[in-house]
Amino acid sequence: MAPYREIAARHPDGIVDLSIGTPVDPTPGLIQDALASAADAHGYPTTHGTQALREAISDWFARRRGVTDLDPQDILPTVGSKELVAWLPLLLGLRAGDVVVRPTVAYPTYDVGAHLAGATPVAADSLDELPDDVRARVRLVWINSPGNPTGEVLDVPALKTVVDDARALGAVVASDECYGELGWGAWDPADGGEPVPSVLDPRVSGGSHANLLAVYSLSKQSNVAGYRAAFTAGDPAIVANLVNSRKHAGMIVPYPVQEAMRTALADDAHVAAQKDLYRRRRGVLVPALERAGFTVSGSVAGLYLWVTNGQGTWDTIGMLAGLGILAGPGVFYGDAGNGFVRVALTGTDERVDAAAARLADTLR
């Protein structure tokens, strides 16, 4: 990407970097205050998280995700969600010969985590796609809804199918749901839609969290990417084993961050306000891209637009760089991403407006 960044940076009005999903808006004051108030953290924090934090997470699941049967005991804070994605196969005891299934277009860390454990990553959007000898070795199935980079959402029947098929194989389903609050259109309750469902939703789980883990992060909805504030929840036995392993591995969320998380999860207003900012930016970029000849695929939730203009990925990256716009190459997310680029909504209003204006200039 370095040569394209250099090209984009030469634009007279500066680069518009929409290639990565890091938040650009301030961390809400109430979260900063909670972090500061807990700064006298002279003792070691608990790996399992405070009871107050786990209760806040359980309450949030019930209030925002329709999961009303989550015991606070079955929740674990993590040092961001990425470290859990990377280390989960190893912490589950996977080894050579075991198979980790991930979506065909997916975040690269799913594969990295499999390799760290010596397991084999396999790209598939359905377990039915796999030959029998591979199916027999599946131990972990990653689902990502809303998806990064595609922005696609798995509805309740689709989630239930994955869960039922994986359970029949004795495999664990880990659901990366980090963009769960960022649905659009039919998945936006503020616009009359329904909430994005969780793998722990009783309609999906059948009332049992056995073999299920939901993975979540506050980075995007609360602008705390720098805090590394996340959690996982689900199967009681798996969570208990993760707690014990992580104690010895030093994978512990600092107490001030735990307090910041607790405060953030109890306040829905700042999440709604941040989502309004992304809604506005999305409303600018989608029509601008479409008028410039792009097709927006999926992208019904999350912070990205998954787009193609019919050219190869790198041709499109080069064209956008010539406009001073940096996007993410679809091929970074697997072979199935060829021909696509990922455009992030994580630019300031001013930079997003600049991108739209530059795209409009291509039509003149």
* Tokens, residue 321: 């760089």
Whether 263 shows a pLDDT value over 80: the answer reads yes
State the average pLDDT over residues 197-211: 97
pTM: 0.93
pLDDT in tens, 75-95: 999 999 999 999 999 999 999
Q: Give the pLDDT band of residue 364 (cuts 50, 70, 90).
A: low
Query: Look-up: residue for tokens 């500061």?
Result: 36
Residue 229 corresponds to which amino acid? Answer: A
Q: Of 242, 275, 296, whose CA–CA distance to 90 is shortest?
A: 242
35, 260 contact by CB (below 8 A): yes
* Mean pLDDT of all residues in 180-206: 96
Residue with tokens 């990565």: 20
Residue 200 to residue 208: CA distance in whole angstroms: 8
Distance in angstroms between the alpha carbons of the first and the last residue of the chain: 28
CB 87 within 8 A of CB 138: no
Tokens representing residue 148 in the block: 């990064």
What's the mean pLDDT when you consider all of the chain? 96
Distance CA 264, CA 278 (A): 18
Q: Does the structure show a pLDDT above 70 at 172?
A: yes
32-52 pLDDT tens trace: 999 999 999 999 999 999 999
